[in-house]
Amino acid sequence: MSAATPTYAGTAGAAARGKVGIWWFLASEVMLFGGLISSFVISRLGGSAHVEHDHLNVTVAAINTFILLSSSYTMVEAYAAAERGDRRGMRVFLGLTVLGGLAFLGIKAYEYTGEITHGFTPWAGTFWSFYYTMTGLHALHVLIGVIANATLCLGARLGLERPYRVELAGLYWHFVDIVWIFLFPLVYLS
Amino acid sequence: MSHASPTVTAVRGPHEATGFFRTYLYATDHKMIARQYLLLGLIMAVVGGYLSYAMRWQLAWPDTEVPGFGFVGPETYNVLVTNHGTIMVFFVAMPILLGSFGNFLIPLMIGARDMAFPRLNALSFWLLALGSAVVLVSFLVPGGAASAGWTGYPPLSAKAEYTGVDWGLTLWLLAHAIEFAAFLLGGVNFLTTIVTMRAPGLGFGRLPLIIWQQATAAILFLLSVGPLIAGAIMLLMDRIVGTGFFLPERGGEPLLWQHLFWFFGHPEVYVVLLPALGAVLEIFPVFSRKPIFGYTLVVWATIVAGALSFIVWAHHMFVSGMDPRLAMPFSITTILISVPFALAVFAMIASLYRGSIAFELPMLWALAFLAMFTTGGLTGIFLGSAPSDIYLNGTYFVVAHFHYTLISAVIFGGYAGIYYWFPKMFGRMLGTRLGQLHFWSTLVSFNVVFFPLHWIGIAGMVRRIANPLQYDMIAPHQWINVVSTVALFGLVASQLVFFVNFFVSQLRGRPAPANPWEATTLEWTTPSPPPHGNWGEALPVVGRGPYEYSVPGATRDWLPQRTGAAAAEARP
Amino acid sequence: MFLSWLPENVSTFGRDIDGIIALIYYITLAWFIATMGTFAVFLVRYRRRAGRPAGYIKGDRWREVAWVLLPCLLVLVLDLWIDFKGARVWAKVKIESPASDVHIRVTGKQFNWVVTYPGPDGRFDTADDKTFLDEMHVPAGKPVRLTLEAKDVIHSFFLPNLRLKQDILPGRSIPAWLDAMKPGQYELPCAHLCGVGHSGMKATLIVHEATDWDAWVGEQWSGSARPGEKT
C-alpha cells in the first residue's frame, strides 16, 4: 500500500476517510443498541419485563459508571497528547484508558457472579434476559475497545502510531460510554 | 469551475498484484473483489435454483421422487422453502447487486483508484464467503437445515422441538449474523468512498444515478440491520442459553421478532431493488441516446422512498395479531411509497420519448425490468391495502408479487448490469447469439412460472405447503402448479445458456474496446478491463453531468463526463 | 383475469373485501394498460432509425416535469381513495364486532384445529364444554364470535370462502368474528408455516341452516340451551 495520496473532490486523506467510515459504523451501532433498548422499553411498558433492580448492586454499578466515564476523559487526553506529538503522554493515557476498561469489565464480572449465585440467571425472567443481553453486548463492545486501545498503545511503543487512529478509537470509545449512560439509568435506576 | 487547475499529482498506481495468493485469495483490488462477489453470487444462485427445482417438482407432483434430488416430503419441503429464500435474498441478490456492482462501479464511476478501505473490502468478501459456507454446512448437520421459513418467526424457530431442527437453525442464524457483518462493513466502505473519493469536478449533482442508488441502499442497510441483529442475538439466546424473549410461556413476546424482522425487512427489499434500478437507469440513456428524464427528481424519489421504507414495516403484519388500529396508518404509508416509485417508472418511460432506441442486449434486459417491475409494483397495492390483505396475506399471490419485484431486480436488473458492464469487467464482449436466446427464453419462462401463481393465490392456495392436493379448494387448480413447474425447467435451462455464454465469452469473446456502447460515464474512459489503480498516471477530471447525450450543436451524440487530455484517448 | 379466480364468497363482510379487491384491480389494470401502452408505443415509435437523432430533453423544467408529476399526483389521489374506502372495511372486519350469541374458541396446535363450544353455561373450561378436532360448526345467518388461541407456535386461521384470516399468537387470545350466509362445508387451512405438519393442517367449517343448527345443538347437549346462551 505505497500509493501516494491522490487529490479528490471530496475530502482526502486516510484520517478523513477513517472518520467518515467510523461515523457510518457508529450510526449502525446506534441502531443495534437502539433496537435492543427499545425492545426492552416496549417489553416493560407491556408489563412483561418486571424490573427487579432491587436485586442489582446499584452502588457497585455507580462506581463502575464513574470508572467508565473517567476512561473517556483519559481517552480525550490521549488524543490531545497524540495531537501535540507527545508520544509518551499518548501511551500513558491510552494505557490508563485500557486499565479503566479492564476495571469496568472486572467489576461487571463481579456483579454477574453475585447475581448468578443468587439465582438470577439469564433465564430467570424477561428482565434478567434483557439485563444480561444488553449489558453483555455492551461489555463485548468495551472489550473490543480495550483491545483496540491496547493495540494502539503497543503500536505506539513500537513506533507505529498514527495520531488519527487515536481519534477514531476515541470516537468508538465515547460511543461505548454513551451507550452505558443510557443503560445505567434504564436498568438500574428507573 | 472551481477546479480550473486541479492538482493532478503524478502518481503511480499501486503495484500490480502478483502471484496466485495476492491475485485471488487476498485480493484488495476492488475489481477483483467485484468478480469474486459475482462468482460467489452465481454459485449460490445455482444452489438456490436447485432448491427451487426440488420445491416446484414437489408442488407439481407431490410426494414423487424428484430426479436428481430424491424424495422431498413435508419435512424437506420446509427446509427447501426456508433456504431458497435465505440464499436468494442474502447470498445471491446482495452479493451480485451490491457486492459486485457496487465494488466494481463505485471507484470506476467516481474516478477513484480503489475503495476507501481496500483491506476491509477483502474482509467483507471473505466474511460473506464464510457465511455462505455456513449455510451450506447447515445442510449436513444432524437434524438438517433450518426449516422455519426465511422469516424465521419464533416460537417455531426458538425451540428445536417445534421443527425438529437443532443445529441447522442455529447455524442459519449464525450465517445471517456473518452476512450482516459483511455487508455492514461493505456499506461503511461504499459510503466513505462515495463521500471522500470523488474525482475533481464530480459534485453530488453529477454522480451517475447508480451511485446514488448504491449509496441509498448502503444507508438503508446500515440503519435497518441493527434492530434485526439485536433480534438475532435474542433468538440465539432463546435457543442456546434458554432465555424467553420470544417464548410466551417464559414471559416473552413472539410479535417482537416480527417487528424487528420487518423493520429491517422492508428497507432490505429496497437494498436489493435500488442497485438494480440504478443499473437500469444507467442503461436507458446509453441505448436511447438521451439524458435520463428528471435526474433531480429521480434522486429525490430514491431518497424519499428510502426514508418511507422505515415506516411501512407493519404492512407485513396486518393480520399478525398486532393492534388492528395500527393497520390504517401503516396502510397509508405503504400506499404512499408507491408515489416515488411511480415517479421513477414514469421518468424512465419519459426518457424513451423522442429517443433513438437500440434494442441491444443490456437494453432488452433493462426494458424487461421496467415491465416486470411495474407489474410487481401494481400487485403490491393489493397487499398494501389492509382489507384486501386480510384475504391475500400468506397466499401464493404474495409469492407471485414478490417474485415479480425481486426477480425483476435480481434477474432482469442484474442481467442488464452484467450484459452492460461485462466488457469492462472481463475485457471481452459477451456473445450476442446466446445472449438473445438467454433473454427471450428467460422472459417467456419467467412469466409462465410466476404469472399463474397470482391466480392460484387468489383461489386460496396458502404459502409453504408441501402438498397442494391435500386441499379440496386447490386440487382442481393443480394444473397451474404443473404449468409453473414445467416452465421453471425452461427458466433453469435458459440460465444454463447464460453460464455457457458467460464462461466461453471470458475466454473466447471478441476483445472489448474501452467504450463499446459509446457511453459517457467515467468507467468507459479506462481500458477494458481497467488496470490496477484504474487511471494510470493522472486521476480523471470531470467536466459535466453523467448523461450528456444528443446535446444540440455537439459533433457527436455523446459528451463524456471526463474532460481534458485523457478523455480524448478514450474515444472508441 | 384476477377476480374470477376468487372462490365463492359466503360471508357478510366478504362482499366488502371483494369490493376493495375489485376496486384495486380496476385501478391497477387501468394503470398497467396506460403505462405499458405508452411504453410500447414509445418503443415502436422511437426505435433507432438512420438520420433521426434523439431529442435532448433533460426534464429539468417545470413544463417537462409536469408530464410525470401530474400522473404521480393522480397516483396519490387514487391511493388515498383506496385507503379511505379500505379503512371502513378494515374496521368492520377487524375492529368492530357485532353482538353475537354464539361464541366459539378455536385453538391451533401442531397440527390441528381444536374447536371448543362453551355449552349451555356459556363459559369455557367447564364440564359442559364440547370439543371437536378439525371440525367447526356454525349457524348460517348469525354472527359468530371467535376467540383464537394457539398452544405452541404461530398458526393462522384462514377461511378462504369467508375472506377471513387472522394469525394466532401463542400466549394471547385474539378476538374475531364471522357471519356465514350460505350453508355448506368449507375448508379452514392453517395459513402460517407452523412446522412439519403445516401442509395438510386444516379443518372443515360446517355452516348449518337455522333449523339444522338447532337440531345439531340439541344432539350435542341433549336438548338443553344453545351454546353460548347465558342461562
Q: Answer for the pair B203, A10: CB distance below 8 angstroms, yes or no.
A: no
- Running DSSP on this structure, what letter comes out for residue C134? S
With H, G, I as helix, E, B as strand and everything else as coil, classify residue B57: helix
Read off the amino acid at residue C40. Answer: A
User: How close, in Å, is residue A158 to chain B by CA atoms?
Assistant: 22
Q: What strands, in cross-sheet order, belong to the sheet with C202-208?
A: C135-139, C202-208, C184-189
Q: B88 and B169 in contact (C-beta within 8 Å)?
A: no
Q: If we measure between CA atoms, which residue out of B549, B547, B566, B565 comes closest to residue B557?
A: B549
Q: Which chains touch C (3 or more CB pairs under 8 A)?
A: B
pLDDT, one tens digit per residue, over C46-81 is 999 998 999 999 998 999 999 999 999 999 999 999
DSSP track, B232-253:
HHHHHHHHHT---TT-GGGT--
Q: What is the pLDDT of residue B448?
A: 98
Selecting from B198, B223, B251 the residue whose C-beta is nearest the C-beta of A8 gives B198
Q: For residue B460, give the nearest of C56, C75, C160 by CB distance.
A: C160
Q: Which residue is closest to B542 within chain A, CA to CA?
A: A9
> Is residue B572 classed exposed, middle or buried when 0-12, 13-18 and 19+ CB atoms within 10 A define those classes?
exposed
Confidence bin at A1 (pLDDT 50/70/90) = very low
Number of C-beta neighbours around residue B531 at 10 A:
13
C106, C148 contact by CB (below 8 A)? yes
Instruction: Find residue C176's DSSP bridge partners.
Output: C146
In B289-392, which ranges are continuous DSSP H helix? 295-308, 327-336, 338-352, 361-384, 386-392
Q: What is the pLDDT of residue B22?
A: 72
Residue C51, chain B, CB below 8 Å: the answer is: no
DSSP letter for each residue of B108-137: HHHT-SS-SSHHHHHHHHHHHHHHHHHHHH
Q: Do C53 and B356 touch (CB under 8 A)?
A: yes
Quote the percentage of chain A above a pLDDT of 70. Answer: 90
C-alpha cell at B516: 463499446
Q: Best mutation site among A8, A17, A43, A141 for testing chain B: the one with the most B CBs within 10 Å? A: A8
Answer yes or no: are the C-beta atoms of B57 and B51 closer than 8 Å.
no
**Contact between A9 and B539 (Cβ < 8 Å):** no
C-alpha cell at C205: 367449517
Total length of chain B: 572
Q: E strands of chain C, at which residues?
A: 102-109, 112-117, 130-133, 135-139, 143-150, 155-159, 164-168, 174-179, 184-189, 202-208
Q: How many CB pairs under 8 A join B and C?
A: 292
CB C65 within 8 A of CB C43: no
Render A151-184 in DSSP notation, one character per residue: HHHHHHHTT---HHHHHHHHHHHHHHHHHHHHHH
CA distance C221 to chain B (A): 31
- Would strands C135-139 and C202-208 be described as parallel, antiparallel, or unpaired? parallel
Residue C22 pLDDT exceeds 80: yes
CB interface of C with B, residues 11-30, below 8 Å: 16-17, 20-21, 24-25, 27-28
Which residues in chain A are closer than 8 Å to B200, comparing Cβ atoms?
7-9
- Hey, how many other C-beta atoms are within 10 angstroms of the C-beta on B554? 12
Query: In this structure, are strands C143-150 and C102-109 parallel, antiparallel, or unpaired?
Result: parallel
Degrees, nearest 5: CA angle B510-B513-B517 = 100
Total Cβ atoms within 10 A of residue A78 = 31
Residue type, C73: L
pLDDT interval class at A161 (50, 70, 90) = low
- Pairwise CA distance, residues C210 & A97, whole Å: 80
Angstrom distance (rounded) from CA B403 to CA B410: 10
Which pLDDT belongs to residue A48? 65
Architecture of domain A15-42+57-189: Up-down Bundle (1.20)
> Which residue type, as a one-letter code, is found at position A152?
L
Question: How far apart are alpha carbons B54 and B494 in whole angstroms?
Answer: 17
Q: What is the mean pLDDT of each run of 10 residues along chain B (572 residues)?
A: 36 53 82 96 97 97 96 95 97 97 97 94 97 97 94 95 93 96 97 94 95 97 96 95 92 94 96 97 97 96 96 95 94 90 96 96 98 96 95 97 94 97 96 97 97 97 96 96 98 96 96 96 95 88 94 92 65 46
Chain A hits for B198, CB-CB cut-off 8 Å, are 8-10
Q: What is the pLDDT of residue A47?
A: 73
Of B156, B324, B458, the CB nearest to C94: B324
Domains and CATH numbers, chain C: 3-95 (1.10.287), 102-221 (2.60.40.420)
Judged by DSSP in three states, B171 sits in helix
- Closest residue on chain C to B462 (Cα): C191
In this complex, how many residue pairs, one in chain A and one in chain B, have their CB atoms less than 8 Å apart?
Answer: 155
Q: What is the 3-state secondary structure (H, E, C) of C50-62?
A: CCCCCCCCCCCCH
Q: pLDDT tens for residues A60-101?
A: 999 999 999 999 999 999 999 988 888 889 999 999 999 999
pLDDT the model gives residue B154: 95
- State the smallest CA–CA distance between residue B346 and chain A in angstroms: 32
Place of cell 471478441: B510
Set of chain C residues whose Cβ sits within 8 Å of the Cβ of B248: 169-172
In the stretch 305-324 of chain B, residues with CB closer than 8 A to chain C read 319-321, 324
Neighbour tally for C61: CB within 10 Å: 9
Residue B214's nearest CA partner among B56, B111, B338, B104 is B104
Residue boundaries of the structural domains of chain A: 15-42+57-189
Q: How far apart are CA C180 and CA C178, in angstroms?
A: 6
Chains near B (3 or more Cβ pairs under 8 Å): A, C
A149 near A98, Cβ under 8 Å? yes
Give the Cα separation of A92 and A138 in Å (integer): 25
Residue A3 has what pLDDT?
Answer: 39
CA distances to A170, B268, C31 from B376, rounded to whole Å, are 47, 16, 13
The C-alpha atoms of residue B141 and residue B33 are separated, in whole angstroms, by 30
What are the two backbone dihedrals, phi and then psi, of residue B516, each rounded to the nearest 5 degrees? -65, -25
Which SS3 state, helix, strand or coil, does residue B465 take?
coil
Q: How far is CA B304 from CA B56, B308, B344, C77, C225, in A?
A: 37, 6, 11, 18, 60
Q: How confident is the model at residue A4 (pLDDT cuts 50, 70, 90)?
A: very low
Helix axes B414-426, B254-288, angle to 10 degrees: 60
B294 and C59 in contact by Cβ < 8 A? yes
DSSP strand pairing (C130-133 vs B541-542): unpaired
Which chain A residue has the Cα nearest residue B222? A28
Cell numbers describing residue C227: 351454546
Which residues are CB-neighbours of B514 under 8 A, at least 6 positions away? Answer: B524, B525, B526, B527, B528, B570, B572
Contact assessment for residue B405 and residue B376, using Cβ atoms and an 8 Å cutoff:
yes
Domains and CATH numbers, chain B: 32-569 (1.20.210.10)
Rounded Cα distance, B273 and B340, in Å: 13
Name which of A21, A35, A132 is nearest B192 (Cβ-Cβ). Answer: A21
* Chain B residues in contact with A8 (beta carbon < 8 A): 111-112, 196-200, 539
CA nearest to B533 within chain A: A3
> pLDDT of C109-159, one tens digit each?
999 999 999 988 889 999 999 999 999 999 999 999 999 999 999 999 999
pLDDT, residue A160, reads 67
Task: Give C33→chain B minimum CA distance, Å.
Answer: 11
Check residue B272 and give its pLDDT.
Answer: 96
pLDDT digit string (tens) for A110-153? Answer: 999 999 999 999 998 889 999 999 999 999 999 999 999 999 99
**If pLDDT is split at 50, 70 and 90, which confidence band does C221 have?**
confident
